[in-house]
Each structure stands twice: as C-alpha cells, then as structure tokens.
C-alpha cells in the first residue's frame, strides 16, 4: 500500500498569540508539514527549531512577497495541499468617521490579500486536480453591528468570494471552505484598540467613546473559546476527505446564526442594546 505524503499546509498570519499560530500547531499535531507565515519571522520564533514547520516572512499585500514565498515552498515541497487565509486586521470605529485609508487597508488585508494568494495557488492545485482553500471569516458578518463596520463588511465580502470560489473551483478537484470563528481568545482586541488609538480624534461620536473601545475587546471576554480548542476542531474539519463548505465554532457562533435569521427590527434592537448604540 502506498504511503501518502504528509499534507503541505500554508497558513498566513501565524504570529504568536493569534488564531493562525494555534492553527499551525494543530496542523502539525495532525501530521502535516506546516508553512507558517507572518510579516515578521521573529513573531513565530517559538516555532523556529521545530522541523515540522517551515517559516516564511510573507506580506499578503505584496505581490513580490507572495511570489517569493510560493516559489520557496514549491521548490522545497513541490506542492501546496492546503492554503489557509488567516491573516487579517481589525478596524474599530464609526463608519462615518473612520479614515478611508484605514478602511482601504482593512479590505486590502482581509479581502484582496487572500484573493492574491488564491490566484497564485490555484494553478498549482488545478494542475494536480486536488487542493483545499480555507478562508477565515467572522461570525460578525452574520449580524453586522455598530462600531466595526469596516472589519465586518470585509469579512462579509470574503464569505461571498468563498461561496463563489467553491462553485468555480470544484471542477478542478479543489475544496473551498469558509471557517467562521466565534469569539476566540487571541490578540485581536489589543490590535483593534491600538488601530483605533491611531485614528484622528472623533467628533460626532465622542459620546460613544467607551462603547467603541469596549467593542474592540468584545470577542475577548471570559467565556471566549480557548484558541487551541478552536484550532483543534477546525483542523479536524479541514482535514476530512470531504471537508464541510462552512464550519463555525466558538462562543457566540450559535447565537449569531440565530441572529442572522431574525427580523431586522429585532436584530437591530438586540445589537443596539449589546453595543450601547
């Protein structure tokens, strides 16, 4: 009987303390060869001496960086079996006052970055008639609320792109999966608050300052799902022979699915109360 080679998994956004880092460890624990990437190799330093990981510096906004990383991976392993588009940025603030460059950056990172990698990887997967593309979305796209419109809309766009890709790429034996995390423990709250602090001072929404800052940490409360638990469940789903088209796990994921189906006036009432809008 032929022994199948270990799947080669490329994951973006693997900085320590985030979901990507936990996914990298979970894939490695599932006997995969993991190409762990982030903008800074030092942010993944704890993985550096482990032979299960091939560390690469990758900026998803740079075509040169993407091409260099893919060439390195293909030269070393000859293939990419699973692409996990995890790298992303938060953007907290009222849409009427968030600077447009911040919104552009959010969409560049959360939507166009994944699409660049997909377009780079698909020819190699299609040539082999197999592969998996996994896009990490967000449960907030199920029921968009106040104070994070740029982030939520970028993830909603990623969900829509993923649905289209699933249909288009099935002809080439490529499975496409939308992973929708609930509230998962990570460093995203600190990143959101830091980006908010760099924005110009608010005028119209000054009275909502406390609520906006609280939104930055909304997913990081005491009942949030541990990152390792989320990663273990997600990796198990992705590695199935026929992975699910949609996989959601974590605190609030079930509630947000219900919210999606509620009448808008009911959903708006709940979100206004929850987000102090």
DSSP-derived pairing of the beta strands 33-38 and 131-136: unpaired
The set of catalytic residues is 151, 155
Residue 41 within any structural domain of the chain: yes
pLDDT for 95 beyond 50: yes
* Domain annotation covers residue 1: no
Q: What is the pLDDT of residue 189?
A: 64
By residue range, what is the domain housing residue 239?
8-275
What is the pLDDT confidence band of residue 104, given thresholds at 50, 70 and 90? very high
CATH code: domain of residue 83: 3.40.50.720
Within a domain: 69 = yes
pLDDT per position as a tens digit, 144-201: 999 999 999 999 999 999 999 999 999 999 999 999 999 898 877 667 777 777 788 7
The strand pairing partners of 36, in sequence order, are 11, 55
47 within domain boundaries: yes
Give a yes or no: residue 3 inside a domain.
no
If one counts the domains in the chain, the total is: 1
Per the domain annotation, does 180 fall within a domain? yes
pLDDT score, position 277: 84
pLDDT of residue 4: 60
* Cα separation, 139 vs 29, whole angstroms: 26
Token pair, residue 245, equals 């088209």
Asked if residue 2 belongs to a domain, the reply is no
* CB burial of residue 58 (10 Å; 0-12, 13-18, 19+): buried
Query: In 3-state terms, what secondary structure has residue 40?
Result: coil
Mean pLDDT (whole number) for 3-21: 91
| pTM of the complete model beyond 0.85 | yes
117 in any annotated domain: yes
Secondary element (H or E) of residue 56: strand 53-57
Residue 6 gets which letter from DSSP? P
pLDDT-derived band at 9, boundaries 50, 70, 90: very high
Rounded CA-CA distance 20/40 in Å is 14
């Amino acid at each position: 009987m032929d022994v199948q080679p270990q799947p080669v998994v490329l994951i973006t956004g693997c900085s320590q303390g985030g979901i990507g880092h936990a996914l990298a460890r979970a894939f490695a624990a599932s006997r995969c060869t993991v190409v762990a990437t982030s903008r800074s190799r030092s942010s993944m330093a704890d993985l550096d001496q482990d032979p299960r990981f091939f560390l690469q510096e990758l900026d998803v906004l740079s075509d040169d960086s993407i091409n260099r990383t893919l060439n390195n991976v293909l030269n070393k392993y000859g293939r990419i079996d699973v692409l996990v588009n995890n790298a992303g940025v938060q953007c907290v603030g009222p849409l009427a006052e968030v600077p447009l460059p911040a919104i552009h950056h959010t969409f560049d990172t959360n939507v166009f970055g994944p699409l660049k990698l997909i377009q780079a990887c698909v020819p190699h997967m299609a040539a082999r008639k197999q592969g998996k593309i996994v896009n990490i979305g967000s449960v907030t796209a199920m029921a968009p609320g106040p104070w994070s419109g740029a982030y939520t809309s970028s993830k909603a766009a990623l969900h829509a792109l993923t649905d289209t890709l699933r249909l288009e790429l099935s002809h080439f034996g490529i499975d496409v999966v939308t992973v929708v995390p609930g509230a998962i423990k990570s460093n995203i709250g600190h990143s959101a608050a830091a980006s908010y602090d760099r924005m110009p001072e608010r005028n119209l929404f000054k009275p909502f300052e406390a609520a906006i800052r609280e939104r930055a940490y909304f997913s990081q409360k005491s009942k949030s799902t541990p990152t390792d638990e989320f990663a273990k469940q997600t990796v198990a789903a992705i590695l199935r022979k026929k992975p699910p088209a949609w996989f959601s796990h974590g605190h609030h994921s079930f509630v947000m699915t219900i919210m999606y189906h509620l009448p808008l006036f009911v959903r708006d009432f709940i979100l206004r109360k929850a987000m102090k809008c």
